[in-house]
Amino acid sequence: MTGRTVRIGGGAGFSGDRIEPALDLLARGDLDYLAFECLAERTIGLAQAARRRADGAGFDPLLDERMRAALPLAHPRGVKIVTNMGAANTPAAVRRVTEIAQDLGLAGYRTAAVVGDDVLEAVLAGDFPLLDREGSSRDLGSSVVAANAYLGAEGIVEALQGGADAVITGRVCDPALFLGPLIHEFGWAADDWERLGQGTLVGHLLECAGQLCGGYFADPGVKDVPDLARLGFPYADVGPDGTVEFGKLSDAGGRLDAATCKEQLLYEILDPGAYLQADVIADFRHVRIDETGPDRVRVSGGTGRARPETLKVSISYDDGYAGEGQISYAGPGAMARGELALDVVRDRLRLTGAAVTDLRFELIGVNAVDRRGRPAEGEPTEVRARVVGRAATHAAAERIGAEVEALYTNGPFGGGGVTRSVRGVLAVASTLIDRALVTPRVHFEVA
Amino acid sequence: MILRDIAHVRTGDKGDISQIAVFAYRADDYPRLLAAVTPERVASHLGRLPSRAITRYELPGLCAVNLILEGALLGGVTRSLALDAHGKTLGAQLLDLPISPG
């Protein structure tokens, strides 16, 4: 590796991820940057809904806990933090981080907000064809609650150039959380597609945190992973030309090797030759992965070509309610009693005229997640009957769980452990928007 | 023999698409993997998966294929009523796909 390297860590792979591995990296990892990726496809819609109900601030629910723990470690070491924990209310998240910094006595702590991903007005004003199904945004009508464009690294770079200690965003492309610091450090041009493609590769490998270090990998006796309860999070040492090696703290749990990197390389990638990002169309077809030491892997060969003229937009919309009920059976004949239970609930919902659709009748342990074409062999020793469906109203959705619960005294013998639930469904549809309609903006607050 | 004897998998999701990457442990086994893990055989093995279309990308440098199963997730994780809305368990179900002995 030639020239100065920058070390950047992956501090979270989803909103509810473990916090200690990130703190461990901050304390002992000699990091320059730590990025927390906390905003899954639907999380921003949930945050938007919480903000509308005014029972939540609209930013990540773990923002306080993460930042109160991370800032006292990061600030004295000069580690800058980048995160999309702003969710649906980045300005409020930045105010909260500034308050936390004040509480912690970190005078002068400078937090940047990257906003501009909220494109609800533009989406409501126009009509946009949906990507993964028929129809257009207008078909969703008044059920639309949020529309957020996937921004690139531009705002993050501007924030770091403005001296931010922490950068908080809403919706950005996940790899941009990592690409932003690299562009800032190395001055990569906005049309240096090869570097931007390789930098996107770095971000893609880090964005799921523990998954690069053996999380979501173990298969006992086939693919063993040591000490998953103490799974370490990864970091990357990146050079000015995009050369990169990945590592983890040697005494943390997990493993980081060619196999874990290969799996993460293709994770949630569709066409490996065209990974569409706001900053570049990345190309991972010719990536090489070489183990260079224990828990140490060099990854090379990421490249890219000119960025798309459109940005992806997630449209969150209310999609009614899902009602569900479950009940278990065990012992000889368990499966037949489970099937009888499903039949009874099916008949009851029909006889009572319940206003429910898209019903699913499944036996957990037999066919609830198993999609293989051939029938299961042998009789399971226990099954759990599951009925789920949609309804337009909460009351109608309750009917499903109620009929499952009534099996206690009206159904087959030996049914136990009923659970029932109703949840509001906040669905996400995707579309594309002209990037000219989206303007990232940055502002700062200082503790 | 089954696929698990020569390969490992990782499953992801994007909207209503399930994505399953399959990796041969050894380069020598990659031709057998290519012969065994075809869209047709995957569709037949996962016979109760409501997939509209399956596309396969080959990555010889990684001894891998990337399978894209469109329409496989009952509307995608945000609206699916499936117990495993992400389809995280699907790749593992591919591991008992029969393969020809070396």
Which sequence spans correspond to the domains of chain A? 6-116+151-308, 315-430
Residue-level pLDDT at A40: 86
Task: Compute the nearest-CA separation of A395 from chain B (Å).
Answer: 18
Contact A427 B46 (CB under 8 A): no
Contact status, residue A331 vs residue A355, Cβ threshold 8 Å: no
Residue A331: predicted pLDDT: 96
- What is residue A133's predicted lDDT score, i.e. its pLDDT? 80
Q: Does B79 touch chain A (CB under 8 A)?
A: yes
Q: Distance between CA atoms of B70 and B17, rounded to whole angstroms? A: 5
Rounded to a whole number of angstroms, the distance from the CA of A196 to the nearest CA of chain B is 21
Rounded CA-CA distance B60/A322 in Å is: 43
Which residues of chain B make contact with A372, given a CB cutoff of 8 A? Answer: 45-48, 93, 96
SS3 of residue A209 by DSSP: helix
Question: Which of A201, A372, A428 is best to mutate for the B interface (most B CBs within 10 A)?
Answer: A372
Maximum Cα–Cα distance for chain A, whole Å?
Answer: 74
B53 CA to chain A: closest CA distance, Å?
Answer: 13
Given a contact cutoff of 8 angstroms between Cβ atoms, the answer to whether A286 and A301 are in contact is: yes
Residues of chain A contacting B64 with CB distance shorter than 8 Å? 262, 266
Distances (CA, A) of A415 to A148, A227, A389: 45, 38, 21
Chain B residues touching residue A367 (CB < 8 angstroms):
48
**CA distances (Å), A169 to each of A34, A80, A140, A166, in order?**
14, 14, 27, 10
Paired strand residues for A217: none
DSSP letter for each residue of A232-247 = PPPEEEE-TTS-EEEE
The DSSP H or E segment spanning B7 is: strand B7-14
How many beta carbons lie within 10 A of that of residue B67, not counting itself? 26
Per CB-CB distance under 8 Å, the chain B contacts of A132 are: 15-17, 76
pLDDT of residue A49: 78
Instruction: Tell me whether residues A430 and B15 touch, CB distance under 8 A.
Output: yes
pLDDT tens-digit map of B54-68? 999 999 999 999 999
> Is the CA virtual torsion A204, A205, A206, A209 positive or negative?
positive
Q: With left for phi above 0 and alpha for psi between -120 and 50, is residue A169 left, alpha or beta?
A: beta
| Interface contact flag, A360 B47, Cβ < 8 Å | no
Q: Mutate which of A144, A224, A266 to test chain B, going by most B C-beta atoms within 10 A?
A: A266
Q: Do B76 and A370 touch (CB under 8 A)?
A: no
Question: pLDDT digit of tens for each residue in chain A (447 aa)?
Answer: 557 999 999 999 999 999 999 999 999 999 999 999 999 887 887 888 788 776 568 999 999 999 999 999 999 999 999 999 999 999 999 999 999 999 999 999 999 999 999 999 999 999 999 997 889 999 999 999 999 999 999 999 999 999 999 999 999 999 999 999 999 999 999 999 999 999 999 999 999 999 999 999 999 999 999 999 999 999 999 999 999 999 999 999 999 999 999 999 999 999 999 999 999 999 999 999 999 999 999 999 999 999 999 999 999 999 999 999 999 999 999 999 999 999 999 999 999 999 999 999 999 999 999 999 877 678 899 999 999 999 999 999 999 999 999 999 999 999 999 999 999 999 999 999 999 999 999 999 999
Across A331-415, the runs of DSSP E, i.e. the strands, are 357-364, 382-391
Task: Tell me the fold of A315-430.
Answer: Alpha-Beta Plaits (3.30.70)
Instruction: Work out the minimum CA distance from A156 to partner chain B, whole angstroms.
Output: 25
Chain B residues closer than 8 Å to A264 by CB: 10
Average pLDDT (B72-76) is: 92
Q: Name every residue whose Cβ is closer than 8 Å to that of residue A16 and which is 6 or more positions away in sequence.
A: A62
* Cβ-defined contact of B48 to A372 (cutoff 8 Å): yes
What pLDDT, on a 0 to 100 scale, did the predictor assign at position A57?
Answer: 83
Alpha carbons A242 and A200: distance in angstroms, whole number: 10
Q: Which structure tokens are listed for B9?
A: 């998998």
Q: Do A386 and B83 touch (CB under 8 A)?
A: yes
Domains and CATH numbers, chain B: 3-94 (3.30.70)
Interface probe for A, chosen from B33, B59, B65, B96 (most Cβ of A below 10 Å), is B59
Q: Fill in the DSSP letter of residue A420.
A: E
What pLDDT, on a 0 to 100 scale, did the predictor assign at position A56?
63
CA-based nearest residue in chain B for residue A363: B83
A291-313 pLDDT, tens digit per residue, is 999 999 999 999 999 999 999 99
